[in-house]
């Protein structure tokens, strides 16, 4: 069965990119996976595809610490871009940081569905995507 979701990974860690992509592909959890090494590249992609729901991701996993544009900067720009998007995107902050300041900051941003601490297991990814799939089915009824 082909999954309906487009998953976006925004993280500069190539090992993390590889393992998450491989896990999603192995479990056939997405129809497409987008990978960006910094927030600026991801934001540019979203801007370029703002009216094309076939390319806009359904779920984004964004890291905090990245070069060029980090996760916090991405979120600031995403909040400004969000009203122009015609597709609802579920966003997860993913980080190895357990700093209470980061956790508290993430809680204050309504666009963040959850804060996930690395390493992210294949089961955790599957649980998130399956839950989104179930939510999507309920909303379509």
pLDDT in tens, 107-141: 999 999 999 999 888 899 999 988 888 887 766 66
- The number of distinct structural domains making up the chain is 1
Is 134 within a domain? yes
Domain that holds residue 22: 6-140
Residue 1 in domain: no
126 falls within a domain = yes
Does the residue 37 lie in any domain?
Answer: yes
CATH of the domain at 103: 3.40.50.2300
Express each pLDDT in 54-112 by its tens digit: 999 999 999 999 999 999 999 999 999 999 998 989 999 999 989 999 999 999 999 99
Rounded CA gap, 136 and 133, in Å? 5
């Amino acid at each position: 069965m082909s999954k309906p979701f487009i998953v976006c990974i925004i993280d500069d860690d190539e090992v993390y990119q590889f393992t998450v992509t491989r896990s999603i592909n192995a479990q056939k959890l997405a129809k497409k996976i987008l990978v960006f090494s910094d927030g600026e590249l991801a934001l540019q992609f979203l801007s370029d595809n703002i009216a094309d729901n076939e390319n806009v991701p359904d779920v984004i996993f964004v890291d905090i610490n990245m070069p060029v544009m980090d996760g916090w900067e991405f979120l600031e720009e995403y909040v400004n871009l969000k009203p122009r998007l015609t597709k609802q995107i579920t966003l997860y902050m993913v980080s190895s940081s357990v700093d209470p300041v980061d956790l508290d900051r993430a809680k204050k941003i309504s666009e963040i569905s959850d804060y996930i601490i690395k390493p992210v297991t294949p089961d955790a990814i599957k649980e998130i995507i399956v839950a989104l799939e179930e939510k999507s089915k309920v909303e379509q009824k």
